[in-house]
Amino acid sequence: IVLTQSPATLSLSPGERATLSCRASQSVSNFLAWYQQKPGQAPRLLIHDASNRATGIPARFSGSGSGTDFTLTISSLAPEDSAVYYCQQRSNWPVTLTFGGGTKVVI
Amino acid sequence: QLQLQESGPGLVKPSETLSLTCAVSGDSISKTGYYWGWIRQPPGKGLEWIGSRYYSGSTYYNPSLKSRVTISLDTSKNQFSVRLNLRSVTAADTAVYYCARTAGVVFFDYWGQGTLVTVSS
């Protein structure tokens, strides 16, 4: 299963709303997670199971979707949200975990 | 607080075996429902899952790497670690290697800081 993220780059101002897309080549049910990666750091889990915020993640981050189309929304951008965002899915037969190519958010 | 720390050689020669260790502290590696594994990221590129292993022995590998990879867990003396062996490396294996806990082989909830491994003669 291939995950396609769009856009590749998103340039917005503080306080604006960011909408990131992740499309799967086949249905992944709700086995979809989102990560944030800042330069020189490991990725950080934001959202799991398509819409569940991970522990300690601010409420401005939300996930939605199921099947093949998923969205990560940042409701009001903060300067520290500048990062690359990756989606990731789990597929069966064989069990495989794959990542999308990433969306860079520039604030 | 769970912490993961990768260690190993920063330089490996082509055709040799890349070996890394991830020290796990703050929780048990035998915790029900959690796998332990590795992800890598070539410089300037995206993320690639390598594989994940459960304490009982159940293991899943990326099909594209399966023939060259072994992941093992060590729970001796109450010190927990996750080991990665990647055989017959080439320059294409140059990457930052991350150790991560996998919740039910679905998503990665804890990550190490990563370690850069360069394959070069």
Q: Would you state the pLDDT for residue A8?
A: 98
Query: Starting from the edge strand earliest in sequence, which strands make up the sheet with B3-7, in order?
Result: B3-7, B18-25, B80-86, B69-74
**β-strand partners of A64:** A71
Given a cut of 90, is residue B37 above it in pLDDT?
yes
Give the C-alpha separation, A80 to A57, whole Å.
13
- Asked if residue B96 lies in contact with residue B43, where contact means CB atoms within 8 angstroms, the answer is yes
Residue A79: cis peptide before it, omega within 30 degrees of 0: no
| Minimum Cα–Cα distance from B104: chain A residue | A90
- For residue range A23-71, list pLDDT tens digits in order: 999 999 999 999 999 999 999 999 999 999 999 999 999 999 999 999 9
- Average model confidence (pLDDT) across chain A: 97
B29 DSSP assignment: T
> Which parts of chain A are beta strand (E)?
3-6, 9-11, 18-24, 32-37, 44-48, 52-53, 61-66, 69-74, 83-91, 96-99, 103-106
**Element holding B91 (H helix, E strand):** none
Q: What residues in chain A have their Cβ under 8 A from chain B's Cβ atoms?
A: 31, 33, 35, 41-45, 48-49, 54, 86, 88, 90, 94-102
The pLDDT-based confidence of B92 (bands split at 50, 70, 90) is very high
Separation between Cα atoms, residue B89 and residue A33, nearest integer Å: 30
Residue B43 has pLDDT above 90, yes or no: yes
Q: How far apart are CA B50 and CA B108, in angstroms?
A: 12
As a whole number of angstroms, the distance between CA A72 and CA A105 comes to 12
Q: Which residues of A42-77 are buried (b: 16+ CB within 10 A; e: fewer)?
A: bbbbbbbbbbebbeebeeebbbebeebebbbebeeb
Closest alpha carbon within chain B to A42? B113
Indicate yes or no: CB of A42 within 8 angstroms of CB of B107.
no
Q: Which residues of A touch B62 (CB under 8 A)?
A: 96-97
Check CB contact under 8 Å for A96 and B109: no
Task: For residue A53, give how far its alpha carbon lies from the nearest alpha carbon of chain B (Å).
Answer: 11
Rounded Cα distance between A19 and A9, Å, is 11
Query: Tell me, what amino acid is at A44?
Result: R
Calculate mean pLDDT across residues A5-15: 97
- Higher-confidence residue of B91 and A94: namely B91
Instruction: Tell me: pLDDT of B22 over 90.
Output: yes
pLDDT for the residue numbered B77? 72
In B8-91, DSSP assigns E strands to 11-12, 18-25, 34-41, 48-53, 59-61, 69-74, 80-86
Alpha carbon distance B98, A42 (integer Å): 8
